[in-house]
Structure 1
Amino acid sequence: MNGMQKVLVVDNGERAPDSALSAELAGLGYASVTTPFEAADDVLALIPSPAAVVLQMPRHANWSERKRFLELATRLRKTLAASHTPVIITGGEGGTATLLQNELNTRAVAAAEF
């Protein structure tokens, strides 16, 4: 598992089996670490260079929860800008891993051109 790129998945702590992103990411060759919103900064400090950070907002989040996720995304984008680590917000629907794969492939191609 150490050789796999790691993706940090941040959610609200309520995980439904049908919205588990870890299996989808594993199928694409990524290891994932899932943490509740409140522990995101602590867990991020333990992962030296994540391939990406995915903020998995609950499907039925109210305005205050959406605002929390958006504020975290803004702060993480600033913090991780130097390492070019993508911060992706999802609404808990399927297809997140595909979105992530597309994002990482686009960045890899762009980096290779320089």
Structure 2
Amino acid sequence: MNGMQKVLVVDNGERAPDSALSAELAGMGYASVTTPFEAADDVLALIPSPAAVVLQMPLHANGSERRRFLELATRLRKTLAASRTPVIVTGGVSGAATMLQHELTTRAVAAAEL
């Protein structure tokens, strides 16, 4: 992939054209790598320093699926804490790009103050 910062998007593997974050992320200047939940750890090993990780939980996820996504978020936040990589959980595209932009802007401001 090119020199753009990468955002890892984790979903349940069921992708509809209207639920892809890739266009919004590209518009923000980020390349996205989308992977199903089960492959998240393997793909993260290939992208050692993503700009962010977005867990795109299905809008109509049942309790078990929600729990899986939230447990992964907790684990990734611990794993990525040293690099200050934001881990964002969202229920679809709506608002995900805005949340990501807020997190990345906050991180950039905090880094500039150090």
Distance 1:93 1:10 in 2: 12
Which letter maps to 2:105? N
Aligned residue in 1 for 2:77: 77
Which residue of the partner structure matches residue 42 of structure 2?
42
Residue 58, structure 1, aligned to residue 29, structure 2 = no
Structure 2: distance between partners of 1:8 and 1:93:
14
Contact 1:56–1:89 (CA<8 Å) still a contact in 2? yes
* Structure 1 residues without counterparts, runs of 5 or longer: none
Alignment gaps of 5+ in structure 2: none
Once the two structures are TM-superposed, the CA of residue 102 in structure 1 deviates from its matched residue by 1.1
The amino acid across from 2:111 in the alignment is: A
Distance 2:47 2:36 in 1: 15
Q: CA deviation at 1:99?
A: 1.2
Question: For this pair of structures, how many residues does the alignment match?
Answer: 114
- The residue aligned with 1:8 is 8
- Give the match's secondary structure for 2:82: helix
Question: What letter matches 1:102 in structure 2?
Answer: H
CA RMSD of aligned residues (A): 0.8
Q: State which drifts further: 89-98 or 42-51.
A: 89-98
For residue 94 of structure 1, report the CA deviation from its aligned partner.
1.5
Query: Is the partner of 1:33 in helix, strand or coil?
Result: strand
Report how far residue 93 of structure 1 moved: 3.7
SS of structure 2 residue aligned to 1:83: coil
**What TM-score do you get using the length of structure 2 for normalisation?**
0.97
CA distance, structure 2, for counterparts of residue 2 and residue 98 of structure 1: 24
Which letter maps to 1:104?
A: L
Shift of 1:3: 1.5
Q: Which segments of structure 1 move beyond 6 Å, counting only runs of 4 or more?
A: none
Q: Is the 8 A contact 1:59 1:93 kept in 2?
A: no
